[in-house]
Amino acid sequence: MLSRQALVIALTACASGAAYAETPSFCNQYASKAIHDVQLVRSNPKCNTGNLHAGVFSTDYNVHYSWCLRVDANRAYAGTSEREAYLKKCTASNPGPAVQNPGNQPLTAACLSIYRQYMKGKGPKAFALSSDRKHCGAAWAKNNVQSASARAIQICVTISGGTCRIQESSN
């Protein structure tokens, strides 16, 4: 039989574990940003080396999403920071090819207009596209590209009612 102290410790551990799990919305944003960062890394020959961590640089959205659901926001942000630091380091002397209009895929007239409006400006910005490629969202941010990405996904999800992923972001 468990002592009262052991029971309190066990209940505290269970409760704290539940508190660390992130929301599906947060993890959708995290995984979308992770995939975007990984695509940038993989598209640059100088960055796409054989020694990339399989989890951190996975091209599978579900790997990032399911991991995010099991950790707290600080660990998720650390994963994003790790990818961004690596990308910044490996592109410092060779920026590689510029990211083009979202995969050169056809966009609706409304999304093309939004893309042109938001992505031409200076400063942190992001463009998100729904999985059916019919809806989009874009945002600028005062602070950083993560804020712009989170806002762009939020706008896109609100409009589409479905899943959206970051297609392009820029500082």
**DSSP conformation letters of 4-63:** HHHHHHHHHHHHHHHHHPPPHHHHHHHHHHHHHHHHHHHH-TTT--TT--TTTT-S-HHH
Q: Chain-wide mean pLDDT for the chain?
A: 74
Whole-number pLDDT of residue 5: 47
Q: Which band of pLDDT confidence, cut at 50, 70 and 90, is reported for residue 93?
A: low
Residue 99 has pLDDT above 50, yes or no: no
Overall pTM surpassing 0.75 (yes/no): no
Q: Which band of pLDDT confidence, cut at 50, 70 and 90, is reported for residue 72?
A: confident
Q: Which band of pLDDT confidence, cut at 50, 70 and 90, is reported for residue 11?
A: very low
Whole-number pLDDT of residue 113: 77
Whole-number pLDDT of residue 20: 56
Residue 68 has pLDDT above 80, yes or no: yes
Q: What is the mean pLDDT of residues 42-66?
A: 82
Residue 132 has pLDDT above 70, yes or no: yes
pLDDT over 70, % of the chain: 78
For the four alpha carbons of 141, 104, 80 and 43, in that order, the dihedral sign comes to negative
What are the domain boundaries of the chain? 21-97, 98-171
